[in-house]
């Protein structure tokens, strides 16, 4: 279709673009790589200059970090517990809400849908002051409940679930079960939820990562050191105690990012797919 | 969305009415609604209420003071600075972000270039987005640290600079670093959204243009760009709303300094409420201002959303 004189030009363009993409790729990876490499180097080595080759000091950095009371395993545990519980809640109740919005006709349905759309746009950060006072008033500071339970009303997840259900739902799916006398809730559990598996998987990844990365809410609600989540632990690395222990500090950062990098290595295809399908933003 | 729901829900309506299942709609929506009331609705109105009171320090009783807090915040230099900083940091990150994302989306979808490995590059460009923002902030604070941070050492060893640069004591540098981090974390996401938008454009339009002798670039500027207007608006507003909530990066990078140059609206709210004097009323008032801004911007998206419906299926934040 194109005249052959163009072929050379296109080839040149392609090469230039691949070079450019490679530069951007380096930009994505290098900051993490430098940190990971530095977590294996001693403080003097780090002070000498930049290196991209790991050294052999990882274990001593790790013991320094541990001796400073940086309990990374507790952080993993706390963050995992919060992220897993809130993800399960948000998946289950968002699907249930989406199902209600699609299958039933009831008064106030349009109004609820309007609320959900507005909730997507208005972030929770704008009401943290009221949220904090409310939680303090009912005595739930230093408790994971206010970090987990709000996931029941997760508007973006409902939106995504509804979009998905709309494409697969047909009344015939549930008709025979109804004739057999199955309850509505049983129909939802045995027929609808299994059908929604792909959407559930996508939102599970995003919900989990979103909760795992949340910093502001736990910062406000949790004081107890043993209850710190991972981002709160990471925050400690900026304090004076690490001003000389560079290796230990880099080890701390590394340990906080490695789980996510591993997850991403395996799931990036689904994550990119989720972003493409729904414009999901954390 | 519009057409499919009408036909499907028409059938459903008949079926549901006959069997009287509709009451289950309320039952299934109830958990969402109750938790929405408790954890979204009530805190929001509590915040608005507090903005009309004098609740501060360790006081337990709040007295109504009318609009006094709003008058005060209007005259609060630090808050004004926080508002303008937030917008500056957002603009400096967004303009290069949308330009690069558009170019990448154009290259990724160009049939003439027919590039390979796009999936691979996309997933790497998106990578920074999933990493904990708190960790990202600490990473950049150590990479740029003074005097012997990796970047300073690198430039010293190369001979680019004679003495190390104290990045976080310079207003310009600190702002650029914050904006760069935001850019770096989000351009991959924007590229993916724009690429999905371009791919949803009817191929026939491009074929027709090609038959008429249009160049690739002409098709891009005359067909793609105009058709991408709604998505671009969507990206712009969601990015703006997200940008207004900027907290983790500036707070953990420098705590808002130097000279309050990266103090944002949320760092202002956080510090007012939870540090020093614990001025909950000031923080609540700032929150209400932020809420008003956010609502205004989201109404713009909401409207464009309703008029355009399915084609792009975008909207999850």
Q: Are B203 and B219 in contact (CB under 8 A)?
A: no
Residue B268 tokens read as 């202002």
Say yes or no: A44 and A178 in one domain: no
* Burial degree of B141 (CB within 10 A; 0-12, 13-18, 19+): buried
Our CA-based measurement puts residue B248 at a distance from the nearest CA of chain A, in whole angstroms, of: 7
Residue B131 sits at the chain A interface (C-beta within 8 Å): yes
All residues of chain B having their beta carbon less than 8 Å from the beta carbon of residue A213 are 130-134
- Smallest CA-to-CA distance from B126 within B227, B200, B195 is with B195
pLDDT at B313 over 50: no
CB contact under 8 A, B196 and A209: no
> d(Cα B11, Cα A172) in Å, to the nearest integer?
10
How many Å separate Cα A83 from the centre of its chain?
Answer: 8
- Smallest CA-to-CA distance from B26 within A111, A191, A164, A150 is with A111
> d(Cα A20, Cα B108) in Å, to the nearest integer?
13
ipTM of the complex: 0.92
> d(Cα A72, Cα B220) in Å, to the nearest integer?
50
pLDDT digits (tens, 9 = 90+) for B225-273: 888 888 888 899 889 999 999 999 999 999 988 999 999 999 999 999 9
* Burial degree of A151 (CB within 10 A; 0-12, 13-18, 19+): buried
Residue B215 sits at the chain A interface (C-beta within 8 Å): no
CB contact under 8 A, A49 and B153: yes
CB contact under 8 A, B305 and A260: no
- Smallest CA-to-CA distance from A99 within A164, A33, A24 is with A164
User: Which CATH superfamily, name and number, covers B69-312?
Assistant: MetI-like (1.10.3720.10)
> d(Cα A181, Cα A176) in Å, to the nearest integer?
9
Nearest CA in chain B to A170: B8
Residue B36 sits at the chain A interface (C-beta within 8 Å): yes
pLDDT at B5 over 50: no
Q: What's the confidence (pLDDT) of residue A242?
A: 76
Q: What's the confidence (pLDDT) of residue B46?
A: 95
pLDDT digits (tens, 9 = 90+) for B104-128: 999 999 888 889 999 999 999 999 9
Residue A215 CB contacts under 8 Å (≥ 6 apart), including other chains: A231, A232, A235, B132, B133, B134, B247, B248
All residues of chain A having their beta carbon less than 8 Å from the beta carbon of residue B53 are none
pLDDT at B194 over 80: yes
Residue A92 lies in a domain: yes
Nearest CA in chain A to B284: A129
Residue A219 CB contacts under 8 Å (≥ 6 apart), including other chains: A232, A235, B270
Best B86, B100, B142, B206 member to test A by mutation, with max A CBs in 10 Å, is: B142
pLDDT digits (tens, 9 = 90+) for B50-73: 999 998 888 778 888 989 999 999
Residue A194 lies in a domain: yes
CB contact under 8 A, A31 and B140: yes
Q: What's the confidence (pLDDT) of residue A280?
A: 43
* Burial degree of B20 (CB within 10 A; 0-12, 13-18, 19+): exposed
Higher pLDDT, B210 or B43: B43
Our CA-based measurement puts residue A275 at a distance from the nearest CA of chain B, in whole angstroms, of: 7
Residue A6 tokens read as 């163009």
Say yes or no: A41 and A153 in one domain: no
The DSSP secondary-structure symbol of B40 reads I
Say yes or no: A37 and A89 in one domain: no
Best B11, B28, B184, B188 member to test A by mutation, with max A CBs in 10 Å, is: B28
Interface of B with A in 57-86 (CB under 8 A): none
Tokens 């008033």 correspond to: A137
> d(Cα A140, Cα A136) in Å, to the nearest integer?
6
> d(Cα B137, Cα A61) in Å, to the nearest integer?
21
* DSSP-assigned letters across all residues of A102-154: HH---TTHHHHHHHHHHHHHS-GGGGHHHHHHHHHHTT-TT-SHHHHGGGGG-
Nearest CA in chain A to B151: A50
Our CA-based measurement puts residue B179 at a distance from the nearest CA of chain A, in whole angstroms, of: 15
Residue A277 lies in a domain: no
Phi, psi of B11 (to 5 degrees): -65, -45
- Smallest CA-to-CA distance from A166 within B23, B16, B17, B6 is with B6
Beta bridge partners of B64: B53
> d(Cα B316, Cα A159) in Å, to the nearest integer?
7
> d(Cα B93, Cα B139) in Å, to the nearest integer?
19
Residue A230 lies in a domain: yes
Say yes or no: A149 and A41 in one domain: no
> d(Cα B102, Cα B109) in Å, to the nearest integer?
11
CB contact under 8 A, B5 and A238: no
Specify the range with the lowest mean pLDDT, choosing from B39-43, B83-87, B273-277: B273-277
The DSSP secondary-structure symbol of B278 reads -
Beta bridge partners of B53: B64
> d(Cα B82, Cα A170) in Å, to the nearest integer?
51
Say yes or no: A110 and A148 in one domain: yes
Residue B165 tokens read as 């640069």
Q: Are B68 and B284 in contact (CB under 8 A)?
A: no
Best A40, A130, A260 member to test B by mutation, with max B CBs in 10 Å, is: A130
Say yes or no: A216 and A98 in one domain: yes
CB contact under 8 A, B32 and A253: no
Say yes or no: A52 and A107 in one domain: no
All residues of chain B having their beta carbon less than 8 Å from the beta carbon of residue A264 are 123, 127, 130
> d(Cα A160, Cα A206) in Å, to the nearest integer?
11
Nearest CA in chain B to A2: B112
Q: What's the confidence (pLDDT) of residue B299?
A: 83
Other beta carbons within 10 angstroms of residue A224's beta carbon come to: 9
pLDDT digits (tens, 9 = 90+) for A190-224: 999 999 999 999 999 999 999 999 999 999 999 99
CB contact under 8 A, A276 and B247: no
Our CA-based measurement puts residue B286 at a distance from the nearest CA of chain A, in whole angstroms, of: 9
Residue B24 tokens read as 């289950």
At residue B49, the 3 state secondary structure works out as: helix
Say yes or no: A100 and A221 in one domain: yes
Residue B278 sits at the chain A interface (C-beta within 8 Å): no
The whole domain housing A83 covers 71-236
Say yes or no: A156 and A90 in one domain: yes
Say yes or no: A140 and A220 in one domain: yes
pLDDT digits (tens, 9 = 90+) for B154-177: 999 898 999 999 999 999 999 999
What is the domain count for chain A?
2
The minimal CB distance from A149 to the residues B39, B127, B195 is found for B39
Phi, psi of B313 (to 5 degrees): 50, 25
CATH number at residue A209: 1.10.3720.10
pLDDT digits (tens, 9 = 90+) for A104-152: 988 889 999 988 988 888 888 999 999 999 999 999 999 999 999 999 9
Domain residue extents for chain B? 69-312
Residue A264 lies in a domain: no
Other beta carbons within 10 angstroms of residue A203's beta carbon come to: 28
Tokens 């109804």 correspond to: A178
Average pLDDT, chain A: 90
Say yes or no: A16 and A132 in one domain: no
> d(Cα A96, Cα B31) in Å, to the nearest integer?
9
Say yes or no: A54 and A79 in one domain: no
Question: What's the distance, Cα to Cα, between the start and end of chain A in Å?
Answer: 43
């Amino acid at each position: 279709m194109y005249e052959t004189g163009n072929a050379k030009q296109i080839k040149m363009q392609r090469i230039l673009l691949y070079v450019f993409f490679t530069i951007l790729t380096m930009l994505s990876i290098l900051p993490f790589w430098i940190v990971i490499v530095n977590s294996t180097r001693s403080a003097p080595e780090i002070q000498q200059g930049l290196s991209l080759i790991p050294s052999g000091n990882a274990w001593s950095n790790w013991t320094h970090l541990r001796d400073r009371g940086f309990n990374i395993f507790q952080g993993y545990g706390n963050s995992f517990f919060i992220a897993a519980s809130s993800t399960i809640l948000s998946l289950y109740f968002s699907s249930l809400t989406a199902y209600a919005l699609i299958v039933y006709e009831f008064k106030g349905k349009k109004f609820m849908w309007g609320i959900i759309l507005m909730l997507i746009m208005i972030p929770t950060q704008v009401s943290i002051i009221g949220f904090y006072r409310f939680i303090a008033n009912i005595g739930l500071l230093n408790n994971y409940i206010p970090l987990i339970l709000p996931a029941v009303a997760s508007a973006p997840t409902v939106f995504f679930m509804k979009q998905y259900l709309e494409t697969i739902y047909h009344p015939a799916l549930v008709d025979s079960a109804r004739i057999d006398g199955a309850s509505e809730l049983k129909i939802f559990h045995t027929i609808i939820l299994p059908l929604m598996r792909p959407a559930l998987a996508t939102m599970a990844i995003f919900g989990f990562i979103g909760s795992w990365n949340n910093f502001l809410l736990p910062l406000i609600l949790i004081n107890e050191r043993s209850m710190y989540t991972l981002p709160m632990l990471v925050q400690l690395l900026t304090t004076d105690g690490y001003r000389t222990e560079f290796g230990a500090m880099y080890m701390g950062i590394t340990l906080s990012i490695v789980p996510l990098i591993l997850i991403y290595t395996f799931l990036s295809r689904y994550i990119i797919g989720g972003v493409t399908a729904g414009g999901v933003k954390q | 969305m519009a057409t499919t729901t009408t036909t499907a829900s028409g059938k459903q309506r008949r079926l549901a009415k006959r069997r009287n299942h509709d009451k289950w709609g309320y039952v299934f929506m109830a958990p969402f609604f109750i938790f929405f009331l408790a954890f979204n609705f009530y805190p929001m109105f509590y915040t608005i209420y507090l903005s009309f009171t004098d609740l501060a320090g360790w006081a337990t009783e709040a007295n109504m003071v009318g609009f006094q807090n709003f008058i005060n915040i209007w005259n609060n230099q630090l808050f004004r600075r926080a508002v303008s900083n937030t917008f500056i940091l957002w603009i400096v990150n967004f303009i290069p972000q949308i330009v690069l994302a558009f170019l990448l989306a154009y290259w990724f979808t160009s049939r003439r270039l027919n590039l390979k490995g796009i999936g691979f590059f996309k997933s790497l460009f998106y990578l920074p987005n999933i990493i904990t923002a708190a960790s990202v902030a600490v990473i950049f604070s150590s990479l740029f640290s003074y005097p012997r941070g990796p970047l300073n050492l690198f430039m010293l060893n190369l001979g680019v600079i004679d003495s190390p640069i104290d990045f976080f004591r310079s207003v310009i540098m600190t702002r650029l670093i914050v904006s760069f981090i935001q850019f770096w974390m989000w351009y991959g996401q924007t590229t993916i959204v724009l690429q999905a938008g371009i791919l949803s454009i009817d191929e026939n339009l491009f074929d027709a243009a090609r038959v008429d002798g249009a160049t690739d670039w002409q098709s891009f500027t005359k067909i793609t760009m105009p058709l991408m207007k709604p998505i671009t608006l969507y990206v712009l507003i969601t990015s703006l709303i997200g940008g207004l909530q900027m907290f983790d990066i500036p707070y953990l990078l420098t705590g808002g300094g130097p000279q309050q140059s990266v103090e944002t609206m949320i760092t202002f709210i956080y510090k007012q409420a939870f540090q020093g004097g614990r001025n909950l009323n000031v923080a609540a008032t700032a929150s209400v201002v932020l809420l008003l801004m956010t609502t205004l911007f989201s109404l713009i998206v909401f409207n464009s959303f309703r008029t355009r419906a399915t084609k792009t299926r975008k909207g999850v934040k």
